[in-house]
Amino acid sequence: MVSALGMTAALGGCGSTGSSDVTLRLVAADYGDSAANSSKKYWDALAEEYEQQHPDVKVEVSVYSWNDVDRKVKEMVDAGHAPDLAQIGAYADYAAAGKLYPASDLLSIRTQADFLSQLSDAGQWKHTQYGIPFAASTRVLFYNKTLFAKAGITPPTTWDQLAADAAALKAKGVKYPYALPLGPEEAQAETMQWLLSGGNGGSGYTDDVGTYTIDSAANVATFSWLKDELVDKDLTGPVAPGKLNRAAAFAAFADGQVGMVNGHPTLIQQAGKKGVKFGMVPMPGRTGKARASMGVADWMMAFKQNGHADQIGGFLDFAYSRKNVLEFSRTYGLLPVTSSASNAMSASDAAPDKALHPFLDQLPTSELYPVGKTSWAAVSAAVKQNIGQALAPGGSPSGVLTRLQSTATAADSSSAS
């Protein structure tokens, strides 16, 4: 879940590799769910095609699960053996440590200009882009069409309608009228989607200049509404939101036990395999459509340790061609990070592309986590562990958000020093 960045036609992407017999080492995350569709197959084929066109460059690819890949790269860097390229979840710490090439030292002007601007902007640390968006995703509200028909309701466009729909679903015995996964697996995502939909200046985790605003009046009002209108009225199911993880919420939706849940594209296949009839609509806002959807991007980055800027740039220009971006996006049900590939997917009525259109529609106005802040990892971890307490019996949304704000402010100060 992805900007004009400067010059560099002379440095990268001009077809010349500058020297012979260079080996580029790439570490990448696995987006597949089995050996049959492992990302290694994609990268191996891409590397082979590139090597045929550039016989003086070899690309060695190592693919690890998302459980391991960030740690593997950190271990390599800490041991003094950084890969040339890493496609992982976060770049800011490496940028702050001076270990990465700026994107403008690598990519051709054409490639730089093709990235969706909000994704390349999110790849900036101190106003220079180091994180190169690789894959993107947004969230929409999934609803179970069968359960909605039985309850005689229509998809919500406001919070009040969502609460009314949830009450109608509960009256029909639906186990999870609205599944609210604020457990430690991915609570930061569900939280941000609600903060962005809060209206009255609801701005997610930060303001326009990047200062944490977790305990803003709008955000406190959002979580107070969730507690008063959904959780305390028993409209979120038998598992407390702070103990419900995203994977469990998605599995329950695929089992036909959930009326509504915020979801990303992987839920299409998961629910489809179980035969659930579902629809997708934009996340409701307080009084209408949410101001923004939550976007997520994963990142490509290039380490300076081994040199090879010319060869890295040439390979990345090839990897980010429209054909290759589309192939990866279609294989794994993700959104393209370039305008050329995004436009091609939007114009396509083929089944895999058409299923992603609701998510593509959200991308232009999506907002991403504050991934350019080196403090974000610590703040995200604190949100995962603590935000569920805001909705617990006797819990205080204001108190929990204030404590998280203090954690964020301290983490920001520490990372800046």
Q: Minimum mean pLDDT among 9-13, 84-88, 356-360: which range? A: 9-13
- Give the C-alpha separation, 263 to 141, whole Å: 6
Residue-level pLDDT at 4: 24
Residue-level pLDDT at 416: 65
Residue-level pLDDT at 5: 22
Give me the percent of the chain exceeding a pLDDT of 70: 94
| pTM (predicted TM-score) | 0.85
User: In the structure, what pLDDT confidence band is assigned to residue 9 with cuts at 50, 70 and 90?
Assistant: very low
Residue-level pLDDT at 200: 58
Token duo for residue 124: 């900036």
Look up residue 187 and give its amino acid.
A
Residue-level pLDDT at 198: 85
Is the per-residue pLDDT at 99 higher than 90? yes
User: In the structure, what pLDDT confidence band is assigned to residue 3 with cuts at 50, 70 and 90?
Assistant: very low
Is the per-residue pLDDT at 19 higher than 80? no
**Average pLDDT of the segment spanning 297-306:** 96
What's the mean pLDDT when you consider all of the chain? 90
- Give the C-alpha separation, 55 to 152, whole Å: 64
Residue-level pLDDT at 277: 97
Which residue bears the tokens 């994609």?
A: 42
pLDDT digits (tens, 9 = 90+) for 324-344: 999 999 999 899 999 999 999
Give, for 6, the enclosing helix (H) or strand (E). none
**Average pLDDT of the segment spanning 133-152:** 96
Integer angstrom CA distances of residue 176 from 146, 169, 250, 384: 14, 8, 11, 21
Residue 99's nearest CA partner among 87, 83, 111, 115 is 83
Which three-class secondary structure state does DSSP give residue 55? coil
Give me the percent of the chain exceeding a pLDDT of 90: 79
User: In the structure, what pLDDT confidence band is assigned to residue 20 with cuts at 50, 70 and 90?
Assistant: low
- Give the C-alpha separation, 6 to 107, whole Å: 9
**Average pLDDT of the segment spanning 301-309:** 96
- Give the DSSP letter string of 59-103: EEEEEE-TTTHHHHHHHHHHTT---SEEEES--HHHHHTT-B--G
Pair type for strands 22-29 and 85-88? parallel
| 107: CB partners within 8 A, 6+ apart | 5, 8, 12, 13, 132, 313, 316, 317, 320
User: In the structure, what pLDDT confidence band is assigned to residue 110 with cuts at 50, 70 and 90?
Assistant: very high
pLDDT digits (tens, 9 = 90+) for 170-190: 999 999 999 999 999 889 999
- Give the C-alpha separation, 27 to 43, whole Å: 10
Residue-level pLDDT at 7: 23
pLDDT digits (tens, 9 = 90+) for 246-301: 999 999 999 999 999 999 998 998 999 999 999 999 999 998 877 788 999 999 99
pLDDT digits (tens, 9 = 90+) for 372-417: 899 998 999 999 999 999 999 999 999 999 999 999 999 988 876 5
Give 299: exposed, middle or buried? Use CB within 10 Å, 0-12, 13-18, 19+: buried
- Give the C-alpha separation, 213 to 222, whole Å: 13
Helix axes 187-196, 376-386, angle to 10 degrees: 90
Which residue bears the tokens 């990235």?
A: 115
Residue-level pLDDT at 411: 92
Residue-level pLDDT at 176: 98
Measure CA 158 to chain center. Answer: 24
Is the per-residue pLDDT at 217 higher than 50? yes
